Amino acid sequence: MTDTSPKRTIANTPPGWFDNVRRRYFPTPIQSVISILGLGLLGWILWTLLNWAVFSAVWDGQASPETCRAAAGACWTVIAQRWRIILFGLYPFDQQWRSALACVVVVAMVVLSCVPAFWAGRRLAAVWVLGTGLFYLLMKGGLLGLPLIGEEKWGGLALTLFIFVATCLIGFPLSIVLALLRRSELPVISKGIGLFIDAVRSLPLLSILFAFAVVVPFMLPGWLQTGKLYRVICGAALFFAAYQAEIIRGGMQGVALGQDEAAKSLGIGYWHRISRIILPQAMRNALPATINQFVISFKETSLVIVVGFFEILASGNAAYGTGDWTFAYREVYAFIALIYFVFVFSLSRYGAYLERRMAVGTF
């Protein structure tokens, strides 16, 4: 080797941040233009939003509607004055701590069921039944010195969460039953249930809620008549179960046939085969779609506003709809959207995380 070989010192230095930025955002003239335009658009959207929500906004909780109307940005006064209506609806003022505590219970319940240590049928069932019981006790009262407060007074976020939790609690076991029946070897049962599931799935949720609120009372005998709230929850649970049953059935189809055959040849009975061999594996296959279904059904709880419930969206409408604050609809909707966003976004991020985590384990 002679010393004519080129010096390699410069080429060996790792690329600095400047090179990285250039390579990522400005590799060719066209891409540079797109980058600049896109960043400009993003910056403009961010600035407009921030300017509206923070810089030009009225933060004074006691400001009068006139000052608010004159301001260029958001008027958070309406939230400061009406947040109790939005969150708790018509719940008696001095008892609203119960409503708040009940919401905390639901959040804790959902967080607990996201922890892998609780992923066993019995533990999950225990968490949900206990949590819902506690929620119901806190909201309804009548025990332990808490004054009795009927369901017609419930409202706001607590009602939204209650409908969601009760829908899941009834709908999930029902979905397993429906999925098993649809996979039954008896043709009449599997065809009949299949027809039922497909019929429910082809209808809009709103029409089912409406039917349960308005039509079903005609059909029920006197001893089965319940409050409208519970009928609507049953309708929502039925809808949830029809969709979830198909997800679980898909998960079951993903379980290798040999698993069931091996269990049969070992002489394991039907119930043990289902509960110990098929369902655990099927649930694993179906988990991402299941979480997605929970997310969808949480968003769809807001539909009960149409059959006349005072859930968070309706209480939001009431909060800006009357009196001096009719102009402040943006702030109220932004507040409710933020609440939904926090719940839904964290759930769907969790679903995405699970999907990645489970993809590691399989083949």
Partner 1 sequence: MPGFLRNQKIRNILLQVLFVAAVLVIVVGGWRNAQQTLQAQHIVSGFGLLEKATGWDVNFSLLPHSASDPYWWFFLIGIVNTLFLGTLGLALATLIGGTIGIMRTVAHPVLNLLGRSYVDFFRNIPLILQVFFWYALVTHLPAPRNAIDFGPLTLSSRGLYMPALNVGGWYLAAAGLTLLLALVLPLWLARTRRISRPPEERRGLVRGVLAGGILAALVILLVGRDAAGPLISRPELQGLNIRGGLRIPPEFSAMLIAIGIYGGAYIAEIVRGGFKAVGRGQTEAAHALGLTPLQSFFRIRLPLALRAMLPILANQYIWLIKATTMGIAIGFTDFFMIVAVTINQSGQTIEAIAILMAGFLAINLTLAAIFNRINKAIALKGNQLRG
Binding flag, residue 352, partner 1 (CB under 8 A): no
Binding flag, residue 218, partner 1 (CB under 8 A): yes
List binders of partner 1 among 310-349 (CB under 8 A).
313, 317, 327, 329-330, 333, 336-337, 340-341, 344-345, 348
Closer CB to partner 1, 138 or 165, in the complex: 165
What is the rounded distance in angstroms from the CA atom of residue 359 to the CA atom of residue 162? 33
Q: Which of 219, 256, 257, 360 binds partner 1 (CB under 8 A)?
A: 219
Binding flag, residue 206, partner 1 (CB under 8 A): yes
Least distance (Å) between residue 222 CB and partner 1:
9
Binding flag, residue 92, partner 1 (CB under 8 A): no
Q: What are the backbone dihedrals phi and psi of residue 271, each rounded to the nearest 5 degrees, phi first?
A: -65, -40
Binding flag, residue 253, partner 1 (CB under 8 A): no
Least distance (Å) between residue 93 CB and partner 1:
26
Closer CB to partner 1, 145 or 267, in the complex: 267
Least distance (Å) between residue 24 CB and partner 1:
6
End-to-end CA distance of the chain: 50
Binding flag, residue 277, partner 1 (CB under 8 A): no
Contact 301, 163 (CB under 8 A): yes
Q: For residue 156, what are the β-bridge partners? A: 311
What is the rounded distance in angstroms from the CA atom of residue 340 to the CA atom of residue 87? 12
Q: Which of 48, 64, 67, 207 binds partner 1 (CB under 8 A)?
A: 207
List binders of partner 1 among 20-79 (CB under 8 A).
24-25, 31, 34-35, 38-39, 41-42
Closer CB to partner 1, 211 or 268, in the complex: 211
What is the rounded distance in angstroms from the CA atom of residue 245 to the CA atom of residue 134? 28
Binding flag, residue 173, partner 1 (CB under 8 A): no
Closer CB to partner 1, 25 or 136, in the complex: 25
List binders of partner 1 among 281-300 (CB under 8 A).
299-300
Residue 31, C-beta contacts closer than 8 angstroms, at least 6 positions apart: 25
Per-residue binding string, partner 1, 141-160, x by CB under 8 A, is --------------------
Least distance (Å) between residue 186 CB and partner 1:
5
Question: Which residues are near partner 1 by CB under 8 A?
Answer: 24-25, 31, 34-35, 38-39, 41-42, 185-189, 192, 199, 202-207, 210-211, 214-215, 217-221, 299-300, 302-303, 305-306, 313, 317, 327, 329-330, 333, 336-337, 340-341, 344-345, 348
